[in-house]
Amino acid sequence: HGRLVAERGTRHPKNVLEQEVPLVRQHEGRTVVLGHLLLQADLSLARTQALRAAGISLAFSAVMATIVSLAIFWLIRSMVSRHLAATALHFQTVRVGAEEVGFEPLKLDKRWAGDELDVLCLAVNHMQERLASTYAQACRSERQAQTLARFPEENPNPVLRVNADGLLGYANQASRSFMEHIGGELGKPLPEPYQSIVEVAVKTGEVQSFEVECGACVYAFVLRPVLPGGDVN
């Protein structure tokens, strides 16, 4: 009959969400309206509570993200970073001497698990073995080359080289008297008939020989072509 039966809370005239719901019951097959229920929601209060809940949720998420980040950092530090740092320090301890490369095998402070770090350790040690072998071979080759380079100067007999252009490119100290005898000069072709013999050696690729009387000495020369470069020793 339009009178208020019950009320809870404070009614607000504005800034509210309002919903009116009829109260009915079934009686002898008829729907009897008992009254109406008026519901109001304070939007300001709802907004405040929603913001508070969102703030709490964001703070909780931030704390959890920080905890997870610290946990991930610790795991990476303990499982990966320290091993990579140990690997970098290992490379800094490599010793290169005159005869060899000093390599200590890389050992990581962890149990063998067959993971990427273990594979890296195996690869580094294999690379070190290959480098040590290659460096030792290079040192041997360098010593051999130095020995061969000294050989013409140490040889008491004349040693000459005519390059691919047919010019005299090298003559050791023992060749001085011979060069003066035939009138030969570095950077120029050998005088005839020696230059023709050189050309035959280059064209045929076969060893040639000739003799030259030089004062009280007789030099027996052997011309050996160096193919495919075209030089003649």
Which pLDDT score is estimated for 150?
61
DSSP secondary structure, 156-217, as one string: SS--EEE-TTS-EEEE-GGGHHHHHHHT--TTSPPPTTHHHHHHHHHHH---EEEEEEETTE
Is the pLDDT confidence value at 220 over 60? Answer: yes
pLDDT of residue 1: 59
The helix (H) or strand (E) run that includes residue 102 is strand 101-102
Check whether 131 has a pLDDT greater than 70: yes
Residue 145 pLDDT: 61
Tell me the pLDDT tens digit for each residue of 144-185: 666 655 666 677 788 888 887 888 888 888 888 888 888 888
Q: Three-state DSSP class for 14?
A: coil
Q: How many Cβ atoms from other residues are within 10 Å of residue 10's Cβ?
A: 7
pLDDT in tens, 36-86: 888 888 888 888 888 899 999 999 989 988 888 888 777 666 667 777 778
How far apart CA 128 and CA 13 sit, in angstroms, is: 85
Determine what percent of the chain is predicted with pLDDT higher than 70.
88
Q: What pLDDT does 6 receive? A: 81
User: Which candidate, 202, 213, 221, places its Cα nearest to that of 162?
Assistant: 202
Q: Is the pLDDT of residue 18 over 80?
A: yes
Q: Compute the mean pLDDT over every residue in the chain, rounded to the nearest whole number.
A: 81
Interval 3-13: pLDDT, tens: 777 877 777 77
**What confidence tens digit (pLDDT) does each residue in 104-126 have?**
888 887 787 788 778 888 888 88
- In this predicted structure, the answer to whether residue 23 has a pLDDT above a threshold of 80 is yes
Q: Give me 17's structure tokens.
A: 């969400």
| pLDDT of 100 strictly over 80 | no
Task: Determine the pLDDT at residue 152.
Answer: 65
- In the prediction, which pLDDT does 56 show? 92
What confidence tier does 216 reach under pLDDT thresholds 50, 70, 90? confident
- Phi and psi for 13 in degrees, rounded to 5? -80, -20
User: Would you say residue 25 has pLDDT above 80?
Assistant: yes
Please report which residue ranges of 77-172 form alpha helices under DSSP H. 82-92, 116-154
* Paired strand residues for 211: 220
